Amino acid sequence: MSLTIAGLRALQILDSRGVPTLEVEVRLSNGVSATAQVPSGASTGRYEAVELRDGDPDRYAGKGVTQACRNVENEIAAAVTGLDAGDQASVDRRMIELDGTPSKSRLGANAILGVSCAVARAASQCKGEPLWQTLSCQFGTKPTLPLPMVNILSGGLHAGRQVEFQDFLAVAHGLPTYSESLHAIVSIHRETRKILDDRGFLLTGVADEGGWGPVLPSNEAALAILTQAIERAGFRPVQEVSIAIDAASSHFHDGGRYVLRSEGRTLEVDELIDLYATWADRYPIRSLEDGLDQDDWAGWVRLTQRLGGRMQLIGDDFFTTNAGRLQQGIAQGAANAVLVKMNQIGTLTETFEVLALAAQAGWRAVVSARSGETEDSFLADLACASGAGQIKVGSVTRSSRLSKYNRLLALERDSQLTWTASSPWF
């Protein structure tokens, strides 16, 4: 079946933080049309593909995406009209060539990703199959229902830097189904709130990804509270529920050292590695993301030698969903898992390349949302299609997050996808 692209439209919409992003609509010659909305990060890595922003200080503090929208409707539309929406790789390749820069800075990775995702969705609609199935067929993957890694407490750039570590997450890997896992997480989220209230920790409101953003006395306090919440909710730490940390450490790395301002101390690389090891002894931590800075390759190798046998060590800002950087990490033994964010690289084809590379190396992968999200549930289908087995979407509040979790509930009911909570480390 030939699904010819007939035209594109783009609309400047707002994301979950009230920051502009794009919604792209693809129209096919058979009359079918489909849209996709583009996510956007705050704690971005240095090597991410470039989001094109207008830079006009009088409009949305310079964050407008009207030029990116024009690029979709003019240059990109001219280049992809007439292509087959059922051939994702060709559409993506055409856009990569058209942009011509390594970081997609000319047309904007946000513009290109919006088209890439809308094309995939249009193809799935034409075929009358769920999006995950279309993606899985296109990229030859073995789909599964993913295990959620869920934000409960936030710090760092997502919560006014009350503490430095960005995310303290719960992973309910010892439950029999996706819906039971989600139920456990919601109970833990609620217990966490009670503990914060009982101890009188000031809640600064809900953080960017829907989790709690309290004023805590230290980073370690978050781990103690989360462990207690897991127990109070009636779950066994390690056997049923473990903790994951996203340190996002590049954002408190300064002059080669790690500045824990909230605790009034600054750590050398190896002192921070020691701290992680101590925490792993005290708390049920089985996953650590961006434990070290995005440029500290030697430190990452030492971190992996020290803790890689005990937990998942994920590179997010470190790899930026970039096949070249991931290849280097695999070759050097720096990290043992990769966070996969489509907008860090800008097309679905390149996203699946990174997933395939990780799988070939026997590395784990976690399909992830951004802190700036929309009501689009695309990521839920992407996570299923990827077969990666893990998804990270934020907390269990706010519809920008729930659109993904709820879509997975529907897929659990309606699809034949299997649930693969593949502990020891998910």
Give me the active site residues, please: 209, 341
Site string for ligand 2PG, 297-316 (x = CB under 6 A): -------------------x
CB 246 to ligand 2PG: min, Å = 5
CB 320 to ligand 2PG: min, Å = 10
Stretch 310-349 residues interacting with ligand 2PG (CB under 6 A): 316
Q: Is 164 in the site for ligand 2PG (CB under 6 A)?
A: no
CA distance 263 to 256: 18
Stretch 29-68 residues interacting with ligand 2PG (CB under 6 A): 41-44
> Which member of 246, 350, 373, 376 binds Mg ion (CB under 5 A)?
246
Residue nearest to ligand 2PG (CB): 41
Helix/strand/coil (H, E, C) string of the chain?
A: CCCEEEEEEEEEEECCCCCEEEEEEEEECCCCEEEEECCECCCCCCCCCCCCCCCCCCCHHHCCCHHHHHHHHHHHHHHHCCCECCCHHHHHHHHHHHHCCCCCCCCCHHHHHHHHHHHHHHHHHHHCCCHHHHHHHHHCCCCCECEEEEEEEECHHHCCCCCCCCEEEEECCCCCCHHHHHHHHHHHHHHHHHHHHHCCCCEEEECCCCCEEECCCCHHHHHHHHHHHHHHCCCCECCCEEEEEECCHHHHEECCEEEEHHHCEEECHHHHHHHHHHHHHHCCEEEEECCCCCCCHHHHHHHHHHHCCCCEEEECCCCCCCHHHHHHHHHHCCCCEEEECHHHHCCHHHHHHHHHHHHHCCCEEEEECCCECCCCCHHHHHHHHHCCCEEEEECCCCHHHHHHHHHHHHHHHHCCCCECCCCCCC
CA distance 218 to 263: 6
Q: Is 316 in the site for Mg ion (CB under 5 A)?
A: yes
Q: Is 262 in the site for ligand 2PG (CB under 6 A)?
A: no
CB 42 to ligand 2PG: min, Å = 4
CB 171 to ligand 2PG: min, Å = 14
Give the one entry of ligand 2PG, Mg ion, none that residue 371 binds, where binding means its C-beta sits below a cut-off of 5 to 8 angstroms depending on kind. ligand 2PG
Q: How distant is the alpha carbon of residue 40 from its chain centre?
A: 10
Give the one entry of Mg ion, ligand 2PG, none that residue 312 binds, where binding means its C-beta sits below a cut-off of 5 to 8 angstroms depending on kind. none
CB 328 to ligand 2PG: min, Å = 20
Q: Is 293 in the site for ligand 2PG (CB under 6 A)?
A: no
CA distance 60 to 51: 15
Q: Per CB under 5 A, which region of 14-22, 236-244, 245-253, 266-274 contacts Mg ion?
A: 245-253
CB 85 to ligand 2PG: min, Å = 28
> Which member of 51, 191, 246, 296 binds ligand 2PG (CB under 6 A)?
246
CB 370 to ligand 2PG: min, Å = 4
Stretch 167-226 residues interacting with ligand 2PG (CB under 6 A): 167, 209
Q: Is 164 in the site for Mg ion (CB under 5 A)?
A: no
Query: 208 or 316: whose CB is closer to Mg ion?
Result: 316
Give the one entry of Mg ion, ligand 2PG, none that residue 44 binds, where binding means its C-beta sits below a cut-off of 5 to 8 angstroms depending on kind. ligand 2PG
Query: 419 or 426: whose CB is closer to ligand 2PG?
Result: 426
Query: 72 or 337: whose CB is closer to Mg ion?
Result: 337
Give the one entry of ligand 2PG, Mg ion, none that residue 368 binds, where binding means its C-beta sits below a cut-off of 5 to 8 angstroms depending on kind. ligand 2PG
Interface residues toward ligand 2PG, by CB under 6 A: 41-44, 166-167, 209, 246, 248, 316, 368, 370-371
